[in-house]
Chains A and B, each alone.
Chain A
Amino acid sequence: MNLLKLLDTMCPDTKTPEEKDTFFSRRDAFRQFGDLSKKMAMAAIPLGILSALPKVAKADTASLIGVLNYALTLEHLEYRYYQTGLESNVITAADRVIFQKIRDHELAHVKFLQEVIANVLGGTPVVEPGFDFTAGGNFNPFTDYPTFLALSQAFEDTGVRAYKGQAANVKESDVVLTAALSIHSVEARHASMVRRLRTIKGQDTVKGWITNGSIGSLPAATQSIYAGEENVSHGGVNVVSLTGIDAGAVSEAWDEPLTDQQVLGIASLFLA
């Protein structure tokens, strides 16, 4: 499948002033779905509610479906990676509990996104692509544990940046935005754990947070995953100048987004 085709389903964000009212009424409609503690109830909302939404809302819904299918593609990749890793016995026995937990989360994300896309937004979830985690024979993650850990870190840090980059694109739906944020922080927890695990095992010197956009001892092919993480200016404020704190620590304190094009470029390395 062509991942980039997903992007075609994402509507341009062109709202005329007169559409603002219907836009905000839709925003209210989504808010009525309630908070995340009611998300299973949300997933059971009849499709009729969505088909009754005004025209602009349908365009927004198509956009949401596009973003969530993009997220679903990444979750498919992560789930399949960990599932294959656990089946291959590459993982040290003591660490399996960590990767079983991560695998469980990725599978839950897959199922949750499928549910929202299909039964809340009335869309069609993307099918799982075929993956090649050797990236054309360059890596052997399922026979070499350090490589497994390295790619795990790369996928988790990519996932954090990918969700971050889509937050503004789903903000018209409070429910979808909050769900995306709630997945985003879980990916960040995974990333922190895997990064520290690699350092504890002597395979790298990275910390749980990303310093100056450094790839550490990861393969050079991962450079694009960390490009831009060295940023120390936010909202026009250079935090190094403001605080006198060293640039390394300031870069660690803010994670940076990636666009869908950048992420799909990374992911495409692992498509069969």
Chain B
Amino acid sequence: MSDERYEAIIIGAGMSGSWVAKELCDKGIKTLMLDRGPDVKHLRDYPTASKYPWEYEYRGAMSNEHTKANPIASRCYAYKDGATHFFAEDSEHPYVQAKPFDWIKGYQVGGKSLLWARQTQRWSQYDFSTPDTNGFGISWPISYKDIAPWYSHVEKFVGISGEKDGLDVLPDGEFQPPKEITVIDKHLRRVVKENYSDRHVIYARCAHLTDPQEIHREQGRGQCQNRTVCERGCPFGGYFSANSSTIPWAQRTGNLTLKGDSVVHSVLYDETTGKANGVKVIDANTKVETMYYADVIFLNAGSINSTAILLNSKSKRYPSGLGNDNGLLGKNFGFHNYRARLSATCPGFEDKVVDGRSPTNVYMPRYVNLNKDQEDFKGAYGVAIYTARYRKQDVKSVGSDLVNDLMKPKNFKPWTIISMIMGETLPKESNSISLDSTQVDQYGIPLIKFDVGYDDNDEKMMEHFFQEWEEIYAKAGFTNIERIDTGQAPGLDIHEMGGARMGLDPKTSILNADNQVHSVDNLYVTDGACMTSTSYQNPSLTYMALAARAADHYFRRRKL
């Protein structure tokens, strides 16, 4: 037992939790931040950050033993030799799948901010309004103008590389200079501009420093070096992670207490005051239980774990989970549909190549279903576009000829392109997460059960993407066009959202417009669990902006 008391407790030291910590600590609030995983200190705990490709035992491959022990994590694009230590082991963290769901977990201080794809596109007013106007969800309780200043606030601190595109479907932000794009990106951009007035190929905005400012130097961060081994942790702080940025910033204020290896069992509820008053924590190593108390609690354990903690926080007043008066906690769980890809060869441009590596790509924002449904599906999709020209290895020969062929430096394959749908999935009660009634984890906490799947709307959206992009490819002169449906399970997009959604009406939502639980106003949920709908953009920028906004809401309310 402990009677440690803080003004604020933050559950989860990842992308959004670290933003709450920074904001509260900057304002002088004594804060405890808990994370279920071990501490990962910037620089000190990046053991593979500067390891060269030739130093890896399997030269980039994964051992059979590792892949077998981690069948889910190993499906993730970032699960590479050199980064596996930032993924939770599948065998140690089981969950129940009523339908297949690939849950990619980063259990350490910093969470998945070490592993993210660093794409940072703002939401637009269309994204906030179409669930309501196009009739596929409840209204968001906030609009773009409510969050726009917080996007700017976060972007300036994080450092976003981007171009001012002037698009209302993807508002501009506070940008540092963009990196280069490829000659095929430029060609595609030109073709799209010549043929379509509503479509735009833009530089995909990303959280990489291309022109560090004083605020970044104060964080100890420097320019992105195009190493593209970000998932190992960046010793330059070239991309934003909680570990390189917000956490050390908050620690320097002297107001943050950070405790790793602290698995939160539940949020404590005081029946007499009707408030949350603390958390019950299990030490990840010793399994000893401890209580911590605070005036305000922020849940930032990630969409899935935050929802699960609420479901597991049972009391006389809330027998089915804290704040769950309407029975919707865990329901309307969303993700992004990343199944559809279109690949092709790009003839021409034989005299051009790329030199080096880029951490980003180009992108097409949404252009259909803006004010009303124009197609036979609902929701939006954007497209991530990757173009490349790889070296060719002539390996047909043997002996001296093989040596000579391999040592030729001038061999390149034709240019290639692959475009990937980033599709909105529609909120629905049947996509849900819940607590299993019989099975528990190593801490005695009920296992999380997933009942999440694709639907007919997702299939129609994919078909639309295929048809539209086959046309675009044809106009661009691309050949060998091939449709790919990866068939991947939900979850591998790593954009889990919802479960404790925001809304105007307590009958249909769990959180209000300021991310407070409707009936427990000193409990904020400011990670992906709060999302009312998913739209199509990579969501971390929005989580960070919502987290900073909610922390500010608490601070202003506290002063009253």
Asked if A pairs with B, the answer is no
A interface residues (Cβ-Cβ under 8 A, vs B): none
